[in-house]
Amino acid sequence: VHDLQPDPLFLEPGLDWHKVSPRLITERRIPVVVLALVAVAALVIGVVGQANGTVSSWPFVLAAGVLAVVALVLWLVLVPRMALSWRYAEREQDLVVRRGRIMRRLTVVPYGRMQVIQVRSNPVAHRLGIATVTLVTASADTDAHIPGLPVDVAQALRDRLAAKGEALTAGL
Amino acid sequence: MTVAGTSGPGASGEQGLEPAALERAAATRMRRLHPLTPFLRSWRLVGGLSAVGLSLFREDLNRLVWVWHALHGDFEISLLARAAAITAGVAVVIVFGAWLSWRVTGFAIVDEPAGSGTLLFHRGILAKQRNQVRLVRVQSVDVNQPLVPRLLGLAAVRLDMAAGHDASVNLAYLPLAEASSLREEILRRGAGVTTGDEVPRVGGPAAVGGSDSSDGSGGSGRGDGSDGSGGGDGSGGRDGPGGPDERAAATSAREELIAQVSTEQVIKSNLLDGISGWVVLALWIVGLVVATILMGRAAFFAALSGIIPVTIAILAQLRRQVRSMMRDADFKLLRTPTGVRISSGMTSTVNRTIDFDRIQGVRLVEPFWWRRFGWARVKLDIAGGEDDFNKGASLIPVASRADAVALIVAVTGADLDSPRYVGVPRSARWVDPIGWRFQAVALVGGGALSRSGRWRRSTAYVPYARVQSVSARQGLVQRRLGLATVFLDLPKGSMRWRAEHRTVLDAAALVGELGVQARLHRLAARSAPGSSPGRPALGSGAGSAAV
């Protein structure tokens, strides 16, 4: 279900494309929980308000319903699809990152242009044992990050990237 | 940025003197800025203190009107006395603070046995700041005159370093003559020319091959292939011309005027550029009047709510235009040994020295109404140009299109009228119905070209050597049409280069080719700094660009 179609631009055939951990879905579902809580709160306010006779309940119930549907769609469909759309491939000279289903994106970062390689995880990701590897170049437009990597994979990737970057700039 | 005891950019030079020795040498020859400097630099402080003084009167603020009455003999002596005392107190504090700050601010140029000299810049009362700038590392030296200092005959000397904005040093303010001579001295030393009995600095690798003077620009004995050997990002150093015969000529005296645009032309062309905005505004007002006459007051208010955003947009445009007019007025473009110098400005004169190696991108802009006259403007993206000072700098504010193209060839080696442009497929009309016919990209020798715009035509050139990463993006509609957009991500200070709506196969090929070219040019730039390919001489070939 979650496999991507081959594509000459965004999923070049013949490359060794790596997936990210499915645990990324869990991380990305956290904001959806917040949304669901807001829906519940709206429902509670509506019902209690109706009982008190202070407000009429239907706008709140309607809002809660809409939020609940949005949260459900996000939870079941969109978040898993988006989270599993990440792929990356290490080529000889550069790192390729692709992502997105609706809006597809591809970034090619030459190892020689990497300035900083960051491995970060927020508290949720930390509990799940996953991390995000971010490549920083001199350009603010470069958007090369790979979330949802198991921590050991992320560290190994960081070390490989750092070694390649060093090798490519060693000839200075 | 006021860290105690910081040593500035280029402090840890391998051949520099010991800091203590520098200090000793500097102490003997410390030069001061103009005594008015503290007031000019911190007019906000002066204003703030005045505000504090006034706020002490907050209770009596309305009674300050009594000063008026007082002049007519109806005064309250205690209030006036308080006003006078506080004013005097504030004045004393300000003058004392200014004097103190002036006392501790100073600069000196110190010789080094092996180098071309170091500039020391000391300032700060509480947090002392000590900058040491090795003059070899200086990228450009500009003399600027903001409005008020200009009226007082003062100027600021600004030293730009390779490291970008944070590292620049601004010696403000000095009398204009002193500022100019200081600039000369720094340039002379930075270029490896020493005064007096010092040992001349040995030139860098860029010194070879200085025999090409085929540009006919009058006795420039310097090969332009080796212009500005600063190399890639942040590699920094500017190696001066090295041969003894060349060294003597490497002063700013060798600057040569290559283009000039009068203030009148700048204003005329800017007004023409903004004419669409004025037409829209006029139509709105006419429509408003007509609607009011026909349908009464309700229509007037309805239309008014619509006109507010339009008015805001127009005002924003007006502001931008006035600013660009002020900035580009009395525009002069000069050729320097390693780049160009731009001198312009109406109220404040700004000098901008731009080495060829700092140019990250060039844009040829042809506003709709200009094309009737065959005019064009050239914009520059400059490394380390995040600040207002460098942002949106014009290489030429207005010129004939042919002259503008020739100027770009001279500065970057790229021919914007390359015959290699490839357009986008017809299906792109669904995502870009107006402009799709005018979307085109071309890959030329040293970089990538991208053209767009049905009305306002814009052609962007980016040297491959500057590319940081290559990206692609595809939205839902684009996917249905089999299209994608390719980007080149560039260092800060540059606009992102984009190739809109290429077919997917074309985009894939473009991503691959751009990646390969970027790598090859990056490696070439690194192994042979300054010898980036295809940069012909910037000579009088560009012609004096006049409208």
Residue that wins the pLDDT comparison between B391 and A77:
A77
pLDDT > 90: percent of chain A? 62
- B314-321 own/partner pairs: CB under 8 Å, 24+ apart: B314/B277, B314/B278, B314/B280, B314/B281, B317/B274, B317/B277, B318/B274, B318/B277, B321/B270, B321/B271, B321/B273, B321/B274
- What Cα–Cα distance (Å) separates residue A51 from each residue in A42, A47, A57, B2? 14, 6, 9, 62
Spatial distance between the Cα atoms of B397 and B124, rounded to a whole number of angstroms: 39
Mean per-residue pLDDT for B387-411?
Answer: 83
Residues 121-140 of A with CB under 8 A from B: 137-140
Radius of gyration for chain B, computed over Cα atoms and rounded to the nearest angstrom = 28
Q: What is the pLDDT of residue B130?
A: 80
pLDDT > 70: percent of chain B? 68
Q: Which residue of A has its CA nearest to B527?
A: A172
- What Cα–Cα distance (Å) separates residue B539 from each residue in B206, B355, B407, B542? 20, 15, 9, 6
Contact residues, chain A, for B507 at CB < 8 Å? 9
pLDDT of residue B72 exceeding 70, the answer is no
Contact residues, chain B, for A107 at CB < 8 Å? 469-471, 489
Q: A10 — contact with chain B (CB < 8 Å)?
A: yes
Q: How many other C-beta atoms lie within 10 A of the C-beta of residue B154?
A: 22
Least confident range from A61-70, B81-90, B409-418: namely B81-90
Q: What is the DSSP letter of B389?
A: T
pLDDT of residue B357 exceeding 50, the answer is yes
Q: A166 — contact with chain B (CB < 8 Å)?
A: no
Spatial distance between the Cα atoms of B45 and B95, rounded to a whole number of angstroms: 12
Least confident range from A84-88, B188-192, B223-227, B520-524: namely B223-227
- What Cα–Cα distance (Å) separates residue B115 from each residue in A33, B119, B182, B283? 64, 12, 18, 65
Tokens of A138: 């001199």
Contact residues, chain B, for A110 at CB < 8 Å? 469, 515, 518-519, 522
Q: B491 — contact with chain A (CB < 8 Å)?
A: yes
Residue among B233, B462, B468, B487 with most chain A CBs within 10 A, to mutate? B468
The pLDDT tens digits of the residues spanning B310-330 come to 778 777 877 888 888 888 888
Mean per-residue pLDDT for B204-221?
Answer: 32
What are the phi and psi torsion angles at A68 (to 5°)? -65, -40
Residue of A10, A104, A139 lying closest to B468 (CB–CB): A139
What is the distance in angstroms between the Cα of B307 and the nearest Cα belonging to chain A? 34
The pLDDT tens digits of the residues spanning B412-421 come to 888 898 888 9
Whose tokens are 């080149």? That residue is B488
DSSP letters spanning B509-530? HHHHHHHHHHHHHHHHHHHSTT
Residue that wins the pLDDT comparison between B193 and B546:
B193
Q: B496 — contact with chain A (CB < 8 Å)?
A: yes
**Residue B91 pLDDT grade (very low, low, confident, very high; cuts 50, 70, 90):** confident
Residue that wins the pLDDT comparison between A97 and B240:
A97
Spatial distance between the Cα atoms of A54 and B153, rounded to a whole number of angstroms: 73
Contact residues, chain A, for B164 at CB < 8 Å? none
pLDDT of residue B220 exceeding 80, the answer is no
B470 and A172 within 8 Å at the Cβ level: the answer is no
Q: Which residue of A has its CA nearest to B234?
A: A138
A138 and B473 within 8 Å at the Cβ level: the answer is no
B515 and A94 within 8 Å at the Cβ level: the answer is yes
Q: A53 — contact with chain B (CB < 8 Å)?
A: no
Q: What is the dihedral of CA A165, B206, B384, B118, to 10 degrees?
A: 110
Residue of A104, A110, A144 lying closest to B519 (CB–CB): A110
B515 and A143 within 8 Å at the Cβ level: the answer is no
Tokens of B331: 């525009």
Q: Which of B358, B309, B380, B273 is nearest to B530 (CA)?
A: B358
Q: What is the pLDDT of residue B203?
A: 33
SS3 B374: coil
Contact residues, chain B, for A10 at CB < 8 Å? 472, 474, 484
Least confident range from B266-270, B320-324, B398-402: namely B320-324
List the strands of the sheet with B118-123, edge to edge: B6-7, B129-134, B118-123, B106-110
Q: Which of B106, B151, B506 is nearest to B347 (CA)?
A: B151
Residue among A103, A117, A139 with most chain B CBs within 10 A, to mutate? A139
What are the phi and psi torsion angles at B440 (to 5°)? -160, 150
Residues 38-97 of B with CB under 8 A from A: none
**Dihedral sign computed on CA atoms, order B273, B276, B281, B286:** positive
Q: A113 — contact with chain B (CB < 8 Å)?
A: yes
ipTM, interface predicted TM-score of the complex: 0.88
pLDDT of residue B297 exceeding 80, the answer is no
pTM of the model: 0.69
Q: What region, left, alpha or beta, does residue B333 occupy, with left being phi > 0 and alpha being psi -120 to 50 degrees?
A: beta
Q: What is the pLDDT of residue A8?
A: 87
A139 and B489 within 8 Å at the Cβ level: the answer is yes
Whose tokens are 């290490």? That residue is A90
**Residue B98 pLDDT grade (very low, low, confident, very high; cuts 50, 70, 90):** confident
Q: B515 — contact with chain A (CB < 8 Å)?
A: yes
Least confident range from B93-97, B194-198, B275-279, B440-444: namely B194-198
- Of the segments B119-123, B224-228, B484-488, which one has the largest average pLDDT value? B484-488
